Amino acid sequence: MKILDRYIIREYLKLFFLILLSIISIYLIIDFFGKIRMFISNDATIIQMASHFFFMIPTIVSQTTPAVILLATLMTFGALSKNNEIVAVKANGVSLYRLAFPLLIICIIVSIVLFLFSEFITPRAFQKAEHIRLVEVQKQESMGMFKQNEIWYRGNQAIYNFRMFDAEKNALHGITIYYLDTKFRLLQRIDAEKAQWQEGKWIFQNVLTASMADGGGFPKLEKLASQAINLPEKPADFKKVQKEADKMGFFELYPYIRKLQSEGYDMTRYLVDLHGKMAFSFVSIILLVIGISFSLRSERSGGVAQSIGAGVIIGFSYWLVFAFSLSLGRSGTLYPLLAAWIPNLLFSVAAYYLIRRVNT
């Protein structure tokens, strides 16, 4: 069996890396033509362009590896079935479950490596790619800084510190504004529970304003339930520095959510993405089982091409169900945990049903 295992693993890995390289190449070519005008208009150097696309590769790998596993599985077992190698294996008393066992082990290893890769490599690489595009090429000034539990933003007239920016509702939470003079001495400080963008202006809620006295005495305090404050910055400016959940690793996102939840903020959208990251780590195993079952069905009906086509449709439909379920979770229709794991549950049931129908 060791010889057979090595043979299957070798054939599978050859197809896996071939498909992965092909998908990366196609993605980069499409992305290149989508950004070439931007690079040319900003006189970007070849090194800048090459560096940007190089740092985009980890994101591509993280997003497409489950699909690569599915396609490699379909093609590996499809080829074995086409060449009657599966018939020969079964004739020697080897179960098809045993035949697929080495691929299951590989898939588990790849899933673990992919989770760690997406946790520690992908976020940093994407941040570097965006820095090259926005700062080095487009010459946009880096105005903000994201830290674990707070965000700092240097505006045109003041320095902003806030807990979170809700891009969907255009709202700043836990905001503090510092107005400084040319010598960086504090002139005024504004603290507010929330700032909502409404009809072209910011409406602050539960506002406390501290204005510094000229002689250095005790500051003048003013507290208001609501106040409209004219700021030169608009929601799009703060969106640039608000780090989205899909750009954060699991171990970075989890304490961020816990901290803001303890302060009373609604973190539903981030909770959905947190559970989604964990659920997505298991999709490779589910798609592997679906791929195996459809490939082995080609012995009896439909041929290899039809099995591959059906398997790809079912496999990629996972992403549609997954995205739809997450959107229901973000809107509050489903609990975050359910929104993330329902697609895995549904497709696990389907995978079990399909693999049980295979004649082993």
Q: Which residue has the tokens 């487009």?
A: 138
Residue 216 confidence (pLDDT): 64
Please give the average per-residue pLDDT across 20-32, as a whole number: 96
Residue 333 confidence (pLDDT): 94
For 177-210, give one letter per residue: b (16+ CB within 10 A) or e. bbeeeeeeeeeebbbbebbbbeeeebbbeebebb
For residues 249 and 322, the model is more confident at 322
The neighbouring-strand residues paired with 197 are 202
What digits encode the pLDDT tens for the residues 54-75? 999 999 999 999 989 988 888 8
Give dist(CA 152, CA 161) in Å, integer. 5
Residue 31 confidence (pLDDT): 96
Residue 306 confidence (pLDDT): 65
Residue 283 confidence (pLDDT): 93
The neighbouring-strand residues paired with 209 are 190, 222
CA distances from 196 to 24, 199, 261 (A): 41, 10, 20
Does residue 59 contact residue 84 with C-beta atoms inside 8 Å?
no
Element (H or E) spanning 209, and its range?
strand 201-211
Please give the average per-residue pLDDT across 141-165, as a whole number: 78
With pLDDT > 70 as the criterion, what percentage of the chain qualifies? 92
Rg (CA), the chain: 26
Give dist(CA 74, CA 288) in Å, integer. 8
- pLDDT of 265 > 60? The answer is yes
- pLDDT of 93 > 80? The answer is no
What is the pTM (predicted TM-score) of this model?
Answer: 0.81
Give dist(CA 111, CA 310) in Å, integer. 23
Residue 313 confidence (pLDDT): 83
Please give the average per-residue pLDDT across 199-212, as a whole number: 93
Residue 297 confidence (pLDDT): 65
Does residue 39 contact residue 287 with C-beta atoms inside 8 Å?
no
Length of the chain as a residue count: 360
Average pLDDT score over the chain? 87
Give dist(CA 130, CA 191) in Å, integer. 31
What digits encode the pLDDT tens for the residues 312-325? 787 778 989 999 99
Check the CA dihedral 256-259-265-267 and report its sign. positive
Beta-sheet strands, E only, within 28-156: 144-147, 150-154
Q: What is the bridge-based pairing of β-strands 186-198 and 220-229?
A: unpaired
Segment among 17-26, 200-209, 217-226 with least mean pLDDT: 217-226
